[in-house]
Amino acid sequence: MKTLILNPIAFSLGAIEVHWYGIILGTAALVGLLLCVQEGKRFGIKPDFFMDLLLLGVPSAIIGARIYYVAFKWEDYKGNFVDVFKIWNGGIAIYGAIIGAFICGFFYFRYKGYNFWRLVDICVPGLLAGQMIGRWGNFMNQEAYGGEVSEEFLRNTLHLPSFIVDQMLVQGVYRHPAFLYESIWSLVGIIILFVLRRQKFLRAGELMASYFIWYSIGRFFIEALRTDSLAFRGPSWLASLINGLWAPMEVLFKQGYLDPAYGNIRISQVLALLLIIGAIVLIIVRRKTGLASAYYLDPITTSKPERNGGNDANSTSAENNTGSIKEDEGSKR
């Protein structure tokens, strides 16, 4: 017997309905914060620093995500502007959230006197963890799914539990759990980032670049399975290039339907390719020009210690916390 489709509303407080989408996003933000705080301790950075970043970063990410989504779906919103603010119904784009979060982080790190490359490296595993958990909000809303599949594929090939299989029955058709593919891809990426950041060869900014490379590779292939992609009408050569790069996946899956009247190129796939290329170029250029002189394991300092209190990366306490990091430098050099 099939289970009921999950209710997107967790509970109600009088007239206020609390959605699972919001609870899951809140949990994602909290887990991301804890990962940043834990790594920040190794460099003598106080938890308050990351808590303040969270308070600024989450609204910035949500605003960026919503602006990004609405901008490419304006035809659906221009007649009812109030719906623009109903984010609990879904309709936020992760790439927009990343843009918003990075803009916030850039100015926040600068205000605190920290080098952007050093701090963003600490934050990206937490960001990826937030994305991993946040995708389950899409699951609760029955969105970000892929094209049609059989129930047998979900139950016997992927061996998914019934609560996922049943939730993937959308309008009478079983769908690819694209949200799950991306969530698992992000989990593997977190493990890779954890391993990379302990390597002595890693330079400042390269963990961020690795994050973009890993996430964008997965997003490029997973995005083509979806049927709700943001798209645009682009040149045929670009569409052919993207389809050619995705072609090896056709051995296993078929691409999700994309209405040709809406567009022939998925925006997220183009952005994924640009980010992969950009991240690789960034690593090469920064190393060739000497801009990547600092290593990830080097101690982190701020030019404004008075703004962060006496117990920050420039303090005696921080030097004790990063003692093990400093010991690595001799062998690393």
Whole-model pTM: value is 0.86
Positive or negative, the Cα torsion across 8, 11, 16, 20? negative
Q: What is the pLDDT of residues 15-70, one digit of tens each?
A: 888 888 889 989 999 999 999 999 999 999 999 999 999 999 999 998 998 888 88
**Residue 231 and residue 245 share a domain:** yes
**Residue 122 and residue 23 share a domain:** yes
Instruction: Report d(CA 96, CA 79) in Å as an integer.
Output: 23
Q: Domain of 198?
A: 143-293
pLDDT at 24: 93
Instruction: Report d(CA 269, CA 77) in Å as an integer.
Output: 24
**Residue 249 and residue 221 share a domain:** yes
pLDDT at 251: 86
DSSP H or E segment with residue 26 = helix 20-42
Name the 3-class secondary structure at 226: strand
**Residue 61 and residue 155 share a domain:** no
Radius of gyration, CA atoms only, the chain: 22
**Residue 153 and residue 108 share a domain:** no
Within-domain flag for 328: no
What DSSP character marks residue 203?
Answer: B
**Residue 100 and residue 29 share a domain:** yes
Instruction: Report d(CA 220, CA 94) in Å as an integer.
Output: 13
Name the 3-class secondary structure at 18: strand
**Residue 172 and residue 64 share a domain:** no
Q: Which residues contact 221 (CB under 8 A, 6 or more apart)?
A: 246, 249
**Residue 282 and residue 161 share a domain:** yes
Structural domain count of the chain: 2
Within-domain flag for 30: yes
Low-confidence ranges of the chain (pLDDT < 50): 1-4, 309-333
CA distances from 278 to 104, 212, 283, 286, 291 (A): 20, 9, 9, 12, 16
The torsion angle over the Cα atoms of residues 94, 97, 98 and 100, rounded to 10 degrees, is 160
pLDDT at 18: 84
**Residue 265 and residue 223 share a domain:** yes
Within-domain flag for 118: yes
**Residue 85 and residue 55 share a domain:** yes
Up-side HSE of residue 241: CA atoms within 13 Å toward CB?
A: 8
DSSP H or E segment with residue 231 = strand 231-232
CA distances from 270 to 40, 143, 216, 254 (A): 34, 21, 10, 19
Q: Which residues contact 160 (CB under 8 A, 6 or more apart)?
A: 154, 177, 180
pLDDT at 101: 93
pLDDT at 307: 55
pLDDT at 306: 59
pLDDT at 88: 65
Instruction: Report d(CA 328, CA 120) in Å as an integer.
Output: 21
Within-domain flag for 254: yes
Within-domain flag for 87: yes
**Residue 164 and residue 288 share a domain:** yes
Q: Which residues contact 174 (CB under 8 A, 6 or more apart)?
A: 148, 149, 150, 151, 153, 154, 165, 168
Instruction: Report d(CA 293, CA 68) in Å as an integer.
Output: 35
**Residue 84 and residue 197 share a domain:** no
pLDDT at 90: 62
Q: Which residues contact 200 (CB under 8 A, 6 or more apart)?
A: 295, 297, 328, 331, 332
Within-domain flag for 232: yes
pLDDT at 324: 46
Do residues 215 and 134 touch, judged by C-beta distance below 8 A?
no
Within-domain flag for 314: no
